[in-house]
A and B are shown apart, each in its own frame.
Chain A
Amino acid sequence: MAQVKINDLLITGDQTYASIDNSVGRLVLDQKIHKKPWFIMFAIGILGTGLLGVSIAWLLFQGIGIWGNNVPSAWGFDIINFVWWIGIGHAGTLISAILLLLRQQWRNSINRFAEAMTIFAVMCAGLYPLLHTGRPWNAYWLFPYTNILAMWPQFRSPLMWDVFAVSTYFSVSAVFWFVGLIPDFATLRDKSTNRIGKVIFAILSMGWRGSNQHWHRYEQMYLLLAGLSTPLVLSVHSIVSFDFAVSIVPGWNVTVFPPYFVAGAVFAGFAMVITFALPIRKLYKLEHLITDRHMDWMAKILLATGLIVFYGYILEIFFSWYSGNFYEYKLLINTRFTGPYSWAYWMLIFCNGIVPQLFWIQKFRVNPVSLMIVCQAVSVGMWLERFVIIPMSLTNNYLPSSDKMYYPSFWDFAMFLGTMGLFIFLMFLFIRFLPIINIFEVKDLLFKMGGKREIVEEATPAEVK
């Protein structure tokens, strides 16, 4: 196979500790570096957030009747988007925790960024079930607290598990992110030339001084957090899949759901990481830290998880026949393969099953255009996957008399676009005000590469710059 010349090193050029500080720190310390593209994206983010605000206000005023949800399809865009967003978040934890445990040092330059994505995606995700309750001001009823009715939540329900899983996931991810930022805040504090910056970063760094004793405990904590986040992220999406798998709706009652949902989450998440990493590394000239090597490896993970997801689709087809269950079989033939929503099913197979196969060829794994096209296809495909699972199973159920089409309303789309706006808004604030690459871990990588550069080159036959 033709090998394209790609840069094999994780950090390229003649870098020193100081040059890494400068290339990452300047994004925060030199505010003039943020020019027109930043403002355009920020404006898009603000407009989207405004749209979200308007749709939430109208929703609270009118009630969830403004959505397309109906009976039997009581779950619609709200749950599709919830699962979609939370899946996107999972790549961040995978990169920061699982790759840390596997000692994949290349994660060092993309983990901060991916963790931020996790937090913002979970914020977008959390909005949906909250608003789907209809009376979000009573959301605290979901938590076990002593009340005057002497009632407790129903702990045998997967929806209750979801409340605990998602809230734990959000808080643990936020803690992981914040403690990861502390040494970088100290660097920014010491590099900052103006008084306001110094004071703000001094407070945020909590007086971090890089003492060996501190690093010792810090490393222990970081490794333990990674070890705890790894089963956490697997459990969160498994529990999300239990929302479906524990029920008896055709197409939902499948034991393959937990692993298949987790793989799908990583698949969608990596697509989103690449979607944001490509333009940002170009815009802020970070190609020496987020290299083609990173893109190549992320694309490989995308391909691998994509194949697991595709295997899940094949299993679904197999089991709807093998189960001998008439309703499972009817769902497959009458709703998925044919019928009014079959376009969504075939689009899903195309986007998630066919398009990512381009990544078998190395050229497509490093070319920004092909990466972008595949990642967008994957994002659409993973959204369609949840569409196929949720309304398609609900609209065609056991009783033909209760069959009813599901049509999303204007407000469904407005809110979906709104959460995308909120995500862009938060991401671009993050790019401007926090270090988007983990400075101390990249320095650590540079230090280790200093001794191992030759081995790195020998181990890979591809041409090295």
Chain B
Amino acid sequence: MAHDFSDPKGPYAHVAEFETPEHLMEAADAARRAGFTKMDAYSPFPIHGLSEAIGFRDTKVPWTVFSFGLIGATVGYTLQWYTSVFDYPMNVGGRPLNSIPAFFPIMYESTILFAAFSAAIGMFVYNRLPKPYHPIFNAKNFERASQDRFFLALEVVDPKFDASTFEKISKESGALEVSEVEL
């Protein structure tokens, strides 16, 4: 189920604001236990264990990097093999045309080049960035999510969405404020 963006005034999520990462972790954990799934947390720095607390797991980036590393190695070696053995064979000091040890450094560099770029580009693509506008930016005090406050958002599209339960869980974990965010 997706958000109905045709109604720009519709609700997007309910957002709880916390003062410390510990409070956020506690609330995220409790909310996941309550059965909420469409949740996201916002923090100024990565908090280890928060993904587990929210119930988020993703290994697309590592697999992409691994695949592109293999592609890079293949491209690097094939380039050298094609040019030095097939297309332009030349005897250099009696070395074999397919001089594997001499081809190794460039193969290695191209592996790293492909893998590193796929890591960065993959991160952007899977995170759907750049994205200049997002409804969460409408949340109250949200400019502090990049500074010193921690937020937990429960989206209204959650199948078990229940504003009062979410507010209760958040307040029990020490939320400063719980508010509704519009699209």
A18-B147, A217-B126, A447-B21 given; A172·B45 CB < 8 A: no
Asked if A31 is an interface residue, CB under 8 A from chain B, the answer is: no
Q: Are B106 and A155 in contact (CB under 8 A)?
A: yes
Interface size, chain A (Cβ < 8 Å): 62
Asked if B157 is an interface residue, CB under 8 A from chain A, the answer is: no
Q: Are B146 and A165 in contact (CB under 8 A)?
A: no
Question: With A and B bound together, what is the CA distance between A206 and B43 in angstroms?
Answer: 16
List residues of B (47-99) whose CB comes within 8 Å of A's CBs.
Answer: 47, 50-51, 54, 56, 58-62, 65, 79-80, 83-84, 87-88, 90, 92, 95, 99
Q: Are A217 and B133 in contact (CB under 8 A)?
A: no
**Which residues of chain A are near B137, meaning CB under 8 Å?**
209
List residues of A (218-249) whose CB comes within 8 Å of B's CBs.
Answer: 218-221, 224-225, 228-229, 231-232, 235, 239, 242
Question: With A and B bound together, what is the CA distance between A189 and B145 in angstroms?
Answer: 11
Asked if B42 is an interface residue, CB under 8 A from chain A, the answer is: yes
Q: Are A210 and B146 in contact (CB under 8 A)?
A: yes
Shortest distance from the beta carbon of A452 to any chain B beta carbon, whole Å: 13
Shortest distance from the beta carbon of B83 to any chain A beta carbon, whole Å: 4
Question: With A and B bound together, what is the CA distance between A228 and B176 in angstroms?
Answer: 42
**Which residues of chain B are near A176, meaning CB under 8 Å?**
116
Q: Are B87 and A150 in contact (CB under 8 A)?
A: yes
Question: With A and B bound together, what is the CA distance between A160 and B41 in angstroms?
Answer: 48
**When the two chains form the complex, which single residue of B40, B61, B143 contacts A211, counting CB atoms closer than 8 Å?**
B40
Question: With A and B bound together, what is the CA distance between A155 and B62 in angstroms?
Answer: 31
Q: Are B80 and A155 in contact (CB under 8 A)?
A: yes
Question: With A and B bound together, what is the CA distance between A216 and B60 in angstroms?
Answer: 11
The closest CB in chain A to the CB of B136 belongs to: A209
Asked if A208 is an interface residue, CB under 8 A from chain B, the answer is: yes
Question: With A and B bound together, what is the CA distance between A206 and B112 in angstroms?
Answer: 25
Question: With A and B bound together, what is the CA distance between A166 and B145 in angstroms?
Answer: 38
0/1 per residue, B24-52, Cβ < 8 Å to A? Answer: 00000000000000001111111100110
The closest CB in chain A to the CB of B113 belongs to: A168
Asked if A190 is an interface residue, CB under 8 A from chain B, the answer is: yes
> Which of A178, A206, A211 counts the most B-chain CB atoms under 10 A from its CB?
A211
Question: With A and B bound together, what is the CA distance between A444 and B92 in angstroms?
Answer: 54
Q: Are A214 and B105 in contact (CB under 8 A)?
A: no
Asked if B177 is an interface residue, CB under 8 A from chain A, the answer is: no
Q: Are A206 and B129 in contact (CB under 8 A)?
A: yes
Stretch at the interface among A179-187, A320-328, A389-397: A179-187
Asked if B109 is an interface residue, CB under 8 A from chain A, the answer is: yes
Q: Are A444 and B46 in contact (CB under 8 A)?
A: yes
The closest CB in chain A to the CB of B87 belongs to: A152
Q: Are B60 and A172 in contact (CB under 8 A)?
A: no
Q: Are A187 and B108 in contact (CB under 8 A)?
A: no
Shortest distance from the beta carbon of B145 to any chain A beta carbon, whole Å: 5
Q: Are B133 and A152 in contact (CB under 8 A)?
A: no
Asked if B9 is an interface residue, CB under 8 A from chain A, the answer is: no
Asked if B154 is an interface residue, CB under 8 A from chain A, the answer is: no
Asked if B102 is an interface residue, CB under 8 A from chain A, the answer is: yes
**When the two chains form the complex, which single residue of B58, B99, B122 contacts A156, counting CB atoms closer than 8 Å?**
B99
**Which residues of chain B are near A183, meaning CB under 8 Å?**
44-45, 146
Asked if A440 is an interface residue, CB under 8 A from chain B, the answer is: yes
The closest CB in chain A to the CB of B50 belongs to: A212
Q: Are B148 and A21 in contact (CB under 8 A)?
A: yes
Asked if B103 is an interface residue, CB under 8 A from chain A, the answer is: yes
Q: Are B147 and A21 in contact (CB under 8 A)?
A: yes
Shortest distance from the beta carbon of A19 to any chain B beta carbon, whole Å: 9
**When the two chains form the complex, which single residue of B43, B61, B88, B130 contacts A151, counting CB atoms closer than 8 Å?**
B88
Question: With A and B bound together, what is the CA distance between A217 and B119 in angstroms?
Answer: 9
List residues of A (14-67) whose CB comes within 8 Å of B's CBs.
Answer: 16-18, 21
**When the two chains form the complex, which single residue of B47, B90, B116 contacts A175, counting CB atoms closer than 8 Å?**
B116
The closest CB in chain B to the CB of A172 belongs to: B116
Q: Are A207 and B148 in contact (CB under 8 A)?
A: no
A217-B58, A224-B65 given; A17·B116 CB < 8 A: no
Question: With A and B bound together, what is the CA distance between A216 and B123 in angstroms?
Answer: 10
**Which residues of chain A are near B87, meaning CB under 8 Å?**
150, 152
Q: Are A210 and B123 in contact (CB under 8 A)?
A: no
Q: Are B146 and A187 in contact (CB under 8 A)?
A: yes
The closest CB in chain A to the CB of B123 belongs to: A221
0/1 per residue, B1-32, Cβ < 8 Å to A? Answer: 00000000000000000000100000000000
Asked if A367 is an interface residue, CB under 8 A from chain B, the answer is: no
Asked if A144 is an interface residue, CB under 8 A from chain B, the answer is: yes
**Which residues of chain A are near B41, meaning CB under 8 Å?**
211-212
Asked if A154 is an interface residue, CB under 8 A from chain B, the answer is: yes
Shortest distance from the beta carbon of B107 to any chain A beta carbon, whole Å: 9
**Which residues of chain B are near A231, meaning CB under 8 Å?**
108, 112
The closest CB in chain B to the CB of A229 belongs to: B116
**Which residues of chain B are near A209, meaning CB under 8 Å?**
42, 134, 136-137, 145-146
Please list the residues of chain B having a beta carbon within 8 angstroms of any beta carbon in chain A: 21, 40-47, 50-51, 54, 56, 58-62, 65, 79-80, 83-84, 87-88, 90, 92, 95, 99, 102-103, 105-106, 108-110, 112-113, 115-117, 119-120, 122-124, 126-127, 129-134, 136-137, 143-148
New A-B contacts (16) at CB < 8 Å, excluding given A161-B109, A191-B147 = A152-B84, A152-B87, A154-B90, A155-B102, A164-B106, A175-B116, A190-B145, A207-B132, A212-B42, A213-B51, A214-B129, A216-B46, A221-B61, A228-B115, A242-B105, A447-B45
Interchain residue pairs with CB less than 8 A apart (8): A18-B147, A21-B148, A156-B84, A168-B113, A211-B40, A217-B58, A217-B61, A217-B126
Please list the residues of chain A having a beta carbon within 8 angstroms of any beta carbon in chain B: 16-18, 21, 144, 150-156, 158, 160-161, 164-165, 168, 171-172, 175-176, 178-179, 183, 186-187, 189-191, 202-203, 206-221, 224-225, 228-229, 231-232, 235, 239, 242, 440-441, 443-444, 447
Top 5 closest pairs, chain A to chain B, by CB: A206-B130, A17-B148, A152-B83, A190-B143, A212-B41
